[in-house]
Amino acid sequence: MERRQDVVLGLVLAALGGFAAHEATSYRGASGTYPLVLGAVLAVLGLALVARALRQSGNRARPLAVHAVRLVGTGAMSAIYLALIPALGFYTASAVAVAAMPAALGLRRPALLGLGAVIFIGTVWLVFSLVLNKPLPPEIWFRPG
Amino acid sequence: MDIILQILSGVFAPDTMLAMLGASLLGVFIGALPGLNPVMAIALLLPLTYSMDPLVALGMVAGIYNGSMYGGAIPAILLRIPGTPAAIATTFDGYPMAQRGEAAKALKIACWSSAIGGTASALALMTLGPLLARGTLYFGPAEYFWVAMFGMASIGVMVGRDPLKGLIASVLGLLLGTVGLDQLSGTPRFTFDQPWLLGGLDLIVILVGLYALPPVLQLAEAADLKGLPASALRLGRVRLTRADVVSLVPTWIRSSLIGIGVGILPGAGGNIAAFLSYNAAKNRAPDPDSFGKGNPAGVAAAECGNNADNAASMIPALTLGIPGNVVAALVLGALLIHGLQPGPQLFSQAPDLVGGFMVQMLVTSLLILAVGGAAATRVFAQVQRLPGVMLVPTILVLMAVGVYVINGRLVDLWLMFGAGLAGYLLEKLDVPLAPIVLGLILGPMAEQGVRRALLIGRGDPMSLISHPLSAVIALATLGFILWPLLRRLKPRRPPAA
């Protein structure tokens, strides 16, 4: 049991429950009762978690990441990819991500990466745009000027 | 009779059969890749099923589920890496068999055992499901409310390692389920003047985030840059003899029954079924010492047990709205997408669809024999030669396209990303994700049930437990919540001197 993590988690949940319960008091009639009860129960359970963690004698380490740099890096690259979708278009942003992310994680095989990106993006285009005809964010290259 | 013909014509229509076959193949492929799992695959699949016929969509879910449970055995046997958590017990005897040159035989036993376990489980679903559903005709609003609460409490307490955190996850899920317009009064709740929140948190967007992003981050952390050498994946040709089959029949029967029993219990998954089946086979064997050293019965027990859990976990899901495991929760999500409210009324609301899905669970179990044959297994084993890091962006792209096509909103991509990061963190903190998803699914049913019951009872809270049936379900719910506490209070025996 990681005491500090559980204390923080419990406090966050208690605050979330408290906020939800407070917010629910402003809803009309029965609309607010159900979320009010749920918010209150969440707050109580969060505090129970804090109390249990504080009473615990031992403190077993529980790492939040196996490899923090790769984890944060991948999270950041994922966010950049999502931000690039409206800017570059879905397929262009995806092709960049498919080629760049494995390379950033250490894969030094450009031929495999290039081939993988072409085959994968081609398949996605075939399935989603050609067969299923789903509208996706337009490519920067094909936008009217 | 008409309904049976309608079900069979729907299931055996060419497009539905093609969907089941393709999904079964995809399922084996996903199961064979360590790091990918059926939950993630089904979560990614669900957004694509919006525009599909519901039976085609459910056929794909059934195919991926049954296929991936067998697929997990391929790396478990060849490399001692379970492709899915349910395949851990398969490594015990599968890998030693592979080491002494019997990999092909172990894979064939796993394939047969998976098909047999899955078939037995589907037959149990087809017989027990309608029986249980008939009992639910006596349910009123109070019973609906308590059934939802029972589902939340049981999965909250049983699914994770920490019952308190399980209950917290359940309440959090129910609370998230209240976001959006109140279905009864039209009052916006927790929308913060954001129009896109008026419809509530989209279940599929949250599902994809919670279940697909954490494996992506874990694959990135592992940073596999090489994949596996071809020499590790070489297989010979083998046939199972009549004597082999006859010797495994008792194991298949026993493991099927164990898997079905475990599947019906909410919260217990295929890995528990596999372990219990493996232990039962070992205890019953005349040579228990041979287990763990390459006994074919060990492979048969584990694979038959984990597949026998599959359809059985749908029994409480389809009849009561209580999923036996996360995949069953996803099936409930798939039903929601197609406008069906999971819960006791499902059998009367859409008997052709529910019946069709049961038959699909049976058909896709049998399809394992076709798609899991020697040639296919050789092909699937080869995908493990790809470096694992290549999967990181490919899954991410599939997540993005799947989520975007639901509503065509960029904000959903960020909601998915936020849910994924929260899911990763919550899993690390031992907070189970399944109760959160279940809360989103069952929340509206619970709220409508309690409010209608109170309306009928003119605001008297006792009206929630005034009927014997609602009182029994309420007591069972309370029992599930108090069970961990009672276990803690039970005096422990002093250790023997």
Mean pLDDT, to the nearest integer, of B440-446? Answer: 83
Check residue B385 and report its DSSP letter. Answer: G
Task: List CB contacts (< 8 A) between B164 and chain A.
Answer: 45, 48-49, 52
What are the start-end ranges of the H helices in chain A? 3-24, 33-55, 68-88, 90-104, 110-124
Q: pLDDT by residue (tens digit) across A43-78?
A: 999 999 999 999 887 777 778 888 999 999 999 999
Q: Are B294 and B103 in contact (CB under 8 A)?
A: no
A105/B397 touch (CB, cutoff 8 Å), yes or no? no
Highest mean pLDDT, choosing among B2-11, B174-183, B483-492:
B174-183
Which among A20, A64, A74 has CB closest to B392? A74
The pLDDT of residue B497 is 42
* Structure tokens, B199: 């419809």
Mean pLDDT, to the nearest integer, of B102-111? Answer: 88
Q: pLDDT by residue (tens digit) across B33-87?
A: 766 777 878 888 888 777 788 899 889 989 988 888 888 888 788 877 777 777 8
**pLDDT at position B494 over 60:** no
Mean pLDDT, to the nearest integer, of B130-145? Answer: 81
Phi/psi of residue B199, each to 5°?
-80, 0
- Substitution target in A55, A84, A105 with the highest count of B β-carbons within 10 Å is A105
Q: pLDDT by residue (tens digit) across A81-94?
A: 999 999 999 999 99
A85/B410 touch (CB, cutoff 8 Å), yes or no? yes
The pLDDT of residue B251 is 95
Mean pLDDT, to the nearest integer, of B103-113? Answer: 89
Task: List CB contacts (< 8 A) between A104 and chain B.
Answer: none
Highest mean pLDDT, choosing among A92-106, A123-137, B94-108, B357-371:
A92-106
- Substitution target in B193, B389, B391, B464 with the highest count of A β-carbons within 10 Å is B389
Chain B residue with the nearest C-alpha to that of A133: B405
Gap from B389 CA to chain A (nearest CA, Å)? 5
Higher per-residue pLDDT: A84 or B336: A84
The pLDDT of residue A90 is 95
B221/A137 touch (CB, cutoff 8 Å), yes or no? no
Q: Are B313 and B323 in contact (CB under 8 A)?
A: yes
Instruction: Report the 10 Å Cβ neighbour count for A139.
Output: 13
**pLDDT at position B110 over 50:** yes
**pLDDT at position B231 over 70:** no
The pLDDT of residue B28 is 85
The pLDDT of residue B165 is 93
**pLDDT at position B402 over 60:** yes
Largest CA distance in chain A: 66
In this structure, of B224-238, B293-307, B392-406, the range with the lowest mean pLDDT score is: B224-238
Task: List CB contacts (< 8 A) between B417 and chain A.
Answer: 78-79, 82
* Structure tokens, A16: 């979330």
Q: Which helix (H) or strand (E) holds B74?
A: helix B73-79
- Reported as a pLDDT band with limits 50, 70 and 90, residue B139 is confident
The pLDDT of residue A1 is 54
The pLDDT of residue B302 is 93
**pLDDT at position B495 over 60:** no
Mean pLDDT, to the nearest integer, of B448-466? Answer: 88
**pLDDT at position B156 over 70:** yes
Q: pLDDT by residue (tens digit) across B169-223?
A: 999 999 999 999 998 888 999 999 999 999 899 888 898 898 889 888 998 998 8
> Which residues are within 8 A (CB) of B109 and not within 5 positions of it... i.e. 6 or more apart?
B240, B244, B248, B296, B299, B300, B303
- Reported as a pLDDT band with limits 50, 70 and 90, residue B458 is confident
In this structure, of B165-174, B382-391, B411-420, the range with the lowest mean pLDDT score is: B382-391
B400/A107 touch (CB, cutoff 8 Å), yes or no? no
- Reported as a pLDDT band with limits 50, 70 and 90, residue A114 is very high
The pLDDT of residue B444 is 84
**pLDDT at position A8 over 90:** yes
**pLDDT at position A18 over 70:** yes
The pLDDT of residue B86 is 77
* Structure tokens, B31: 């199961």
Query: Distance between alpha carbon A98 and the CA centroid of its chain, in Å?
Result: 18
The pLDDT of residue B113 is 94
Mean pLDDT, to the nearest integer, of B18-41? Answer: 82
Highest mean pLDDT, choosing among A30-44, B149-163, B226-240, B448-462:
A30-44
Mean pLDDT, to the nearest integer, of B292-306? Answer: 93
Assign 3-class secondary structure to B132-169. HHHHHHHCCHHHHHHHHHHHHHHHHHHCCCCHHHHHHH
**pLDDT at position B126 over 60:** yes
A134/B401 touch (CB, cutoff 8 Å), yes or no? yes
Mean pLDDT, to the nearest integer, of A15-34? Answer: 93
> Which residues are within 8 A (CB) of A31 and not within 5 positions of it... i.e. 6 or more apart?
B182, B184, B185, B187, B189
Mean pLDDT, to the nearest integer, of B16-35? Answer: 85
B431/A9 touch (CB, cutoff 8 Å), yes or no? yes
Higher per-residue pLDDT: B165 or B350: B165
A67/B221 touch (CB, cutoff 8 Å), yes or no? yes
The pLDDT of residue B230 is 64
Q: Which ipTM value was assigned to this complex? A: 0.94
**pLDDT at position B3 over 90:** no
Higher per-residue pLDDT: A30 or B251: B251
Q: d(Cα B229, Cα B251) in Å, to the nearest integer?
A: 34
A20/B175 touch (CB, cutoff 8 Å), yes or no? yes
Dump strand ranges (E) for B182-334. 188-189
Assign 3-class secondary structure to B160-216. CCCHHHHHHHHHHHHHHCCCEECCCCCCEECCCCCHHHCCCCCHHHHHHHHHHHHHH
- Reported as a pLDDT band with limits 50, 70 and 90, residue B233 is low
Give contacts of A 22-81 with B, CB under 8 A. Answer: 23-24, 27-32, 34-35, 38-39, 41-42, 45-46, 48-49, 52, 62-67, 70-71, 73-75, 78-79, 81
Mean pLDDT, to the nearest integer, of B289-306? Answer: 92
The pLDDT of residue B301 is 95
In this structure, of A61-65, A127-131, B351-355, B382-386, the range with the lowest mean pLDDT score is: B382-386
Q: pLDDT by residue (tens digit) across B358-389?
A: 999 999 999 888 877 666 666 766 766 778 89
